Amino acid sequence: MKNNLDLHIPVLLPEVLNFVKSCNFEQFSYLDATFGRGGHALEINKLFENLKIIAVDQDMEAIEYGKQLFAEKEKNEEIVFIHSNFSKINGYKSLINNFVNNTGISFILADLGVSSPQLDDAERGFSFYKEGPLDMRMDHSQSLTASHIVNEWSEEDLIELFITKGEVRRPQKVVDKIITRRKIKKFESTDDLSYLIEDCLGWRKKGQHPATHFFLALRLEVNKELEVVENSIESLLDLLAPGGLLLVITFHSLEDRIVKYKFKELAEAKGKILTKKVVQASWEDKKKNKRARSAKLRVFERGAYVI
Ligand SMILES: C[S@@+](CC[C@H](N)C(=O)[O-])C[C@H]1O[C@@H](n2cnc3c(N)ncnc32)[C@H](O)[C@@H]1O
């Protein structure tokens, strides 16, 4: 089994550990809403004896990896794995409550987006640097893929998608080319699309592939990432014990804005925001880990009362 740090370096790790160490409970439990390669889970597990972990991921590969990584802990019934989108967490409430003896969860981490192994595996179709099928699903059991969007969506819908989720100011030129090209031959691979965008726009920003924002928009749409965050924060908060923490790590401005405003909206009824200023990685960590450069952490503490 490959070392998980070779696969994925957890971002904002010291900052996350500092927050969870500040919690005060007799028995600790942790829900990892985005288990990935268990980078955060492994380090958090070292801090607490007999920590109960609920590991959630919508990618079966992450779950399979976790089962090997924590085989001993699973045998000791200290970890359960849930292969699901965390937006469906309410459906697992009784399983979770039984597992933690109805004490509520001490802390929940949602480290959003894709993992390095997902990005690095050409077959998953997330990267414009690797040729693979134009797929981008985190969960292979769902049917919507990036190629469906690119090949089937109307001109108007593609334009709206690239503006709203990719924050591309003028996507018309690229969309025109997509429409012309797909009449002759459908898009099948990541290269089909990334070369077309590169041809159409050229390299404008040093170090940033011209397809970056188009690929981001497609990935967000395929996995409904923004809608999931918006609609799940309250359900996650409701699983916490009073005094428990919800930590959310985002990687781009649209996602961060949703978390920021959702936390504000819920602060009066559910608890308080611990990160008045968003937490970012140290300069050293940003140098070591490219993904850490855009990572932002926000933390919410569940209040002692329930409404
Ligand atoms: C950034 S990685 C998490 C990395 C993990 N913290 C670590 O240190 O190894 C994100 C993971 O969350 C999963 N994921 C993203 N959104 C999800 C969602 N809405 N529900 C369940 N899993 C999700 C992805 O499949 C991916 O494995």
pLDDT reported for residue 203? 86
Higher pLDDT, 117 or 45: 45
CB of residue 66 inside a 6 A radius of ligand 1: no
Query: Rounded CA gap, 67 and 126, in Å?
Result: 25
Domain positions in the chain: 4-116+225-302, 140-222
The response to whether residue 255 sits with its C-beta less than 6 Å from ligand 1 reads: no
Q: What is the CATH number of domain 140-222?
A: 1.10.150.170
140-222 has the same fold as 4-116+225-302: no
d(CA 270, CA 242): 9
pLDDT > 70: what percent of the chain?
97
The CA-CA-CA angle for residues 142, 143, 149, to 5°, reads: 125
CB of 58 shorter than 6 A to ligand 1: yes
Atom 4 of ligand 1: nearest residue by CA position: 36
Ligand 1 atom nearest 291 alpha carbon: 1
Which tokens is 114 given?
């894709």
Query: Strands, DSSP E only, in the chain?
Result: 29-32, 52-57, 79-83, 105-111, 240-250, 271-273, 279-280, 296-302
Dihedral sign from CA coordinates of 275, 277, 278, 284 = negative
Which of 17, 53, 58, 137 for mutating ligand 1's site (highest number of atoms within 8 Å of CB)? 58
Q: Is the CB of 34 under 6 A from ligand 1?
A: yes
Q: pLDDT tens for residues 58-105?
A: 999 999 999 999 999 999 999 999 999 999 999 999 999 999 999 999
> Residue 213: what pLDDT?
96
* Residue 72 phi, psi dihedral angles, 5° rounding: -65, -45
Name the residue among 148, 170, 151 with its Cα closest to residue 159: 170
Which is the closest atom of ligand 1 to the Cα of 251?
1
The class of domain 4-116+225-302 in CATH terms is alpha beta
CA distance 163 to 187: 21
Q: Is the beta carbon of 219 within 6 A of some atom in ligand 1?
A: no
Task: Average the pLDDT over each of 14-23, 125-134, 171-180 and give the range with the smallest value.
Answer: 125-134
What's the CA-to-centroid distance between 271 and ligand 1, angstroms? 25
Q: How far is the CA of 184 from the centre of ligand 1 (A)?
A: 37
The vertex-39 CA angle with 35 and 43, nearest 5°, equals 115
What is the sign of the dihedral through the CA atoms of 129, 131, 136 and 140?
Answer: negative
Residue 276 has pLDDT above 60, yes or no: yes
Strands 279-280 and 296-302, how do they pair?
antiparallel
Q: Which two tokens stand for residue 212?
A: 């970056």
Distance 85 CA to ligand 1 centre (A): 9
Mean pLDDT of 219-223: 97
302 CB near ligand 1 (under 6 Å): no
pLDDT mean across residues, the chain:
94
